[in-house]
Amino acid sequence: MIVEKRFCLDLTQDDIKEWCSTRGVESYRASQIYKWLSSGVTVTDEMTNVSKKVRAMLEEDFIFDGFKVLEKYVSKIDGTTKFVYLLHDGNIIESVVMRYKTGLAVCISSQAGCKMGCEFCASAKAGFGRSLSSGELLAQVLISQKIMGEKIRSVVVMGIGEPFDNYENIVNFIDRITDPEGPGMGARHITISTCGLVPKIREFASLKSQVNLAVSLHAPNDAIRTGIMPIARAYCMEELLDACREYTKVTGRRITFEYSLFKGINDRRQDADELASRLKGMLCHVNLIAANEFPGSDFHRPDRRSVNDFKQYLESKGVNVTLRREMGTDIMAACGQLRRGIEEGTE
């Protein structure tokens, strides 16, 4: 029987303890190895206090160096840094590190590609490879933190992929990154963004975690939503909003609704009006985004004035609104753009 090697960052502290015991390695090595992995070291040569013999054994049993930085782009405008990684099986993923007043935040991918098929999304056009393991989710945070030489304060799972289509690994990732003996990030510094997989929102609510939930709404009604997001055919808006109400009730956490404005599709006054009445009374806030345009897309961004009008109208109806600041526009930092460029050989 061929046993597939596991990626080193998929190992929990317990896995490493067990490995040490079955391989006859001194037990104190387990915490040394776990510390190295938790600091983003995925090359055994860098584990300087671990003997050469144990390093060789680790390499025999697990995948090291399975997460290579293929490209790194730094925005000249705002320092936003985009990493493109090559995984051990040839899949390519990307993460983006942004600087805010509160420190660094990283936006990570949950899958190589995406099955959800949102019409406005560059990632959807690139097809689906596979879901990422919890270690590969963690690697995006720890490796970018190591390269940036500065602590990552928050994580948003809002890159390529649908996190709740990779539910188990996402939950494991949250456990791993919040481990006080490991990276020790606070749950409130993590945001999971879903396009609206209703049963998984309910399942996630039942965990009662303090993780932030963002839901990609992008429309005020089913007619518009089904036209741009295939998931809306499986779960209507009322079902989705009910699950969101449950999430806020169970966790006490405010929910974020992501709303990309597409010119002539969902950016009219009547859309703002309908959105405001649907969200009335909910513990939520709306994050408006002027659409990301990419070559070949039929979706266009409204002008600045229309975006501001939409925002002000929602505010006049008592909705909490923010306008998402665009970052890294010169390095194609919008969802999926860069990976697609590389795969098509345009970079």
Which residues lie closer than 8 Å to 151 by C-beta, 6 or more apart? 103, 104, 145
Task: Among 37, 58, 97, 116, indicate the residue that binds ligand SF4 (CB under 6 A).
Answer: 116
Residues 193 and 188: their CA atoms lie apart, in Å, by: 14
Task: Among 41, 47, 114, 307, indicate the residue that binds ligand SF4 (CB under 6 A).
Answer: 114
Mask of contacts with ligand SF4, 294-323, x by CB under 6 A?
------------------------------
Active-site position among 107, 118, 121, 335: 335
Which residue shows structure tokens 């749950």?
187
Segment contacting ligand SF4 (CB under 6 A): 4-12, 28-36, 118-126, 242-250?
A: 118-126
Segment contacting ligand SF4 (CB under 6 A): 48-56, 92-100, 111-119, 310-318?
A: 111-119
Q: How far is the CB of 200 from ligand SF4 (least distance, A)?
A: 13
Which residues lie closer than 8 Å to 75 by C-beta, 6 or more apart? 81, 82, 327, 328, 329, 330, 331, 333
Judged by CB under 6 A, does residue 124 bind ligand SF4? yes
Judged by CB under 6 A, does residue 266 bind ligand SF4? no
DSSP classification of residue 256: E
Structure tokens at 25: 């390695």
Q: Closer CB to ligand SF4, residue 116 or residue 276?
A: 116
Is 239 an annotated catalytic residue? Answer: no
Judged by CB under 6 A, does residue 240 bind ligand SF4? no
Structure tokens at 214: 């963002």
Active-site position among 8, 20, 94, 258: 94
Task: Among 155, 160, 197, 228, indicate the residue that binds ligand SF4 (CB under 6 A).
Answer: 160
CB atoms within 10 A of CB 30: 20
CA 259 to chain centre: 17
Q: How far is the CB of 146 from ligand SF4 (least distance, A)?
A: 26
Judged by CB under 6 A, does residue 121 bind ligand SF4? yes
Strands (E), the chain: 6-7, 62-63, 67-74, 81-87, 92-100, 103-107, 111-113, 128-131, 152-157, 190-194, 212-216, 255-261, 284-290, 321-323
Q: How far is the CB of 41 from ligand SF4 (least distance, A)?
A: 30
Judged by CB under 6 A, does residue 156 bind ligand SF4? no
Backbone angles phi, psi at 260, to 5 degrees: -80, 135
Which residues lie closer than 8 Å to 345 by C-beta, 6 or more apart? none
Mask of contacts with ligand SF4, 171-210, x by CB under 6 A?
------------------------x---------------
Which residue shows structure tokens 């494991």?
172
Q: Closer CB to ligand SF4, residue 9 or residue 112?
A: 112
Is 94 an annotated catalytic residue? Answer: yes
Which residue shows structure tokens 């000249």?
76
- Residues making contact with ligand SF4 (CB under 6 A): 114, 116-118, 121, 123-124, 160-162, 195, 335
Positions marked active-site: 94, 335
